[in-house]
């Protein structure tokens, strides 16, 4: 059993326009609403790839029935603690002219200390049969600094994958030593407060976390590809050339692919190849639809891994 944790799920509304005009009326072409939240995204990908997975989390009461319905349509096992407030809606504005994706993300419901402690107890109980746990996504308002670090400590003994940035990543790496971290390049730069413009500087940045006790680090770099770093080796994978429809959720899909790779290979360096294929398959889907298994299987044979 694999567990993913999503403490701030959402409805993801994707709208398509010709050109984003700031301060003007913008006419929407296509629009869709998908299930959202990084921990949920990882679980959806893992389930579609055939893994035994469950998702735990918190959700606001207003909108909880609709969100639960979307989760169940994905055949996901789930346990969510309902708290006062509403499920947030994150809006992705896709400009057809090539401006990229503009994201408008709501904060989510406020979590008080009692609710947080209750969730920690639930997480410890519900992960009893899980060897691997994924912690990813933004934290809702009210969570104190170091929440992910504290949750990792409660999950001691599990192989924990952490995908976050900034102070949460720094504190977790120093105080709880996650099994794997997966920041993207911008998140790594923001966390360390430095520009990373060469393969060597990116590797050296990842090694900072390895020296703190993190066993594996994967840095996704968009069109530049991705890098895997451990104390023993550094691997680089160029980005696969596919038709890009949406990059939203690609990092979550990468983690889902690596979970499958680790299940099959029992080796995280070898699992890196699966993550590259899953991330590439994700960008081929519109909105936040995440992944089609047939795309993943076809792309897996195309992944090239180089040791650097």
Burial letters 98-136, b for 16+ CB under 10 A, else e: eeeeeeeeeebbebeeebbeebbebbeebbeebebbbbb
Which is catalytic among the residues 34, 150, 252, 295? 252
- Check if 150 is active-site: no
Q: Are the C-beta atoms of 95 and 20 separated by less than 8 Å?
A: yes
The residue written with tokens 């990813």 in the block is: 136
Whether residue 274 contacts residue 20, with contact meaning beta carbons closer than 8 Å, is answered with: no
Catalytic machinery residues: 252
């Amino acid at each position: 059993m694999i567990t993913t944790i999503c403490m701030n799920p959402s409805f993801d509304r994707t709208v398509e326009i010709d050109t984003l005009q700031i301060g003007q009326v913008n006419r929407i072409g296509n629009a869709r609403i998908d299930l959202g939240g990084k921990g949920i995204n990882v679980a959806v990908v893992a389930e579609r790839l055939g893994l035994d997975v469950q998702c735990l989390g918190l959700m606001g009461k207003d909108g909880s029935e609709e969100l639960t319905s979307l989760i169940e349509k994905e055949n996901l096992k789930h346990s969510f603690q309902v708290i006062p407030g509403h499920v947030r809606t994150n809006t992705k504005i896709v400009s057809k002219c090539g401006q990229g994706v503009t994201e408008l993300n709501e904060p989510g419901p406020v979590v008080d200390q009692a609710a947080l402690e209750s969730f920690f107890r639930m997480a410890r109980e519900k992960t009893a049969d899980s060897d691997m746990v994924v912690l990813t996504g933004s934290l809702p308002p009210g969570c104190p600094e170091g929440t992910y670090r504290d949750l990792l400590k409660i999950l001691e003994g599990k192989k924990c994958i952490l995908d976050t940035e900034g102070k949460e990543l720094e504190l977790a790496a120093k105080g709880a030593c996650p099994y794997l971290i997966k920041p993207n390049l911008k998140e790594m730069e923001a966390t360390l407060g430095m520009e990373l413009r060469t393969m060597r500087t990116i590797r050296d940045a990842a090694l900072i976390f390895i020296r703190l006790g993190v066993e594996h680090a994967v840095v996704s770099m968009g069109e530049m590809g991705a890098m895997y770093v451990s104390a023993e080796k550094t691997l680089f994978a160029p980005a696969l050339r596919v038709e890009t429809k949406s990059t939203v959720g690609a990092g979550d899909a990468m983690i889902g692919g690596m979970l499958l790779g680790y299940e099959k290979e029992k080796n995280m360096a070898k699992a890196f190849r699966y993550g590259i294929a899953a991330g590439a398959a994700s960008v081929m889907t519109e909105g936040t639809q995440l992944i089609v298994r047939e795309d993943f299987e076809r792309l897996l044979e195309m992944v090239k891994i180089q040791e650097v």
